[in-house]
Structure 1
Amino acid sequence: MRRAVLRLVLVTGLLAGPAAVLCGTGIFVNGAELKPETVQALQQVYPTTVAPGRYWYDALSGAWGVEGQPIAGQLMPGLNLGGTLKAEASRGDSGVFINGRQIQRGEKAYLEMLCQTPVRPARYWIMANGIGGYEGLPASFNLAQCPGLAQGGGGGRSSSRTWCEGSHCTTTSVLGYISTSR
């Protein structure tokens, strides 16, 4: 009887503690652990291994990062990953909230440099393409048109730019920058 109950607990994931780690992925997004099938689907779309850890994800913009840290990259928006994005997800202290997450001072400074204008403390919404506005109001800006972004070859503004030096690549976009090694 005890074995049957233990097997039921392990299979259903109801046990918290060391035994639960055997069944879980160890990958938490916005406080909720991802299911193995969700991790597999992510790894099919993004051919990289997702390391166990704690992450935040902004479903409106696609921005993501490690809990307590600023933006680390951008995925497709609208993915059903984890729980609800929390204001303190990246331990921001700037007074600027984007899609509910308070950004860090460095992220605010990056946006000010990119757009060459001060970003006042307020609550904003921003979509993956850089279009955004104040919470509850219609769109009032487009980060893809900020003067700090590189010009595209066709005369219009590009929303991202990538350059590589040896095995190290850096991508800048409307939501931040990403450094990777090949």
Structure 2
Amino acid sequence: MTAAHEQLYLRTLRALSAAGVPFVGLGTFALRRQCPQLPRRLVADCDLQLPPDVAVLNHLTELLQAAGWQVTLWEVPVQLPLAAAALAGKYYLRARRAGAVLDCTYEHDSLSWPAFQANSHYHEGLPLMRTAAILQQKAQIGRPRDLALLDWWRQTIGPLPELGDPG
């Protein structure tokens, strides 16, 4: 992630929040907001979790498109209004702008929308998943880039926090 992408993500998330779009920031971008020493090179994109509500997803898409983001569903550009049947089983919308990628997940295999909300807090005015929950997800998923991030955390910050830890 570049500094320009980071600023674009922040502007976009603040605009979505101001417009009343319910979301929780998660993944490495949300982790960097809470741990600024995390190198940008470890952040590939910006991930959001949203409720599985077609009205919310239509509002999100409308706002993103108006801001110049190209929104797709499995690489196919979306047209408004979105239909619940077309979204089912597809998990996320992807938005791209100037090389930045915003993944907007609305279906999740292991956590419900209320669970995401319960594991989040407001940081810098944005709803973000708590640090311990992000790190726990990365450990469970275990992709090479997730493991590299966890190694960086242990070497630079220290032991991984427990889910009950504040933050």
TM, length-normalised to structure 1 = 0.25
TM, length-normalised to structure 2 = 0.27
**Larger C-alpha radius of gyration, 1 or 2?**
1
Higher normalized helix content (fraction of residues) = 2
Higher normalized strand content (fraction of residues) = 1
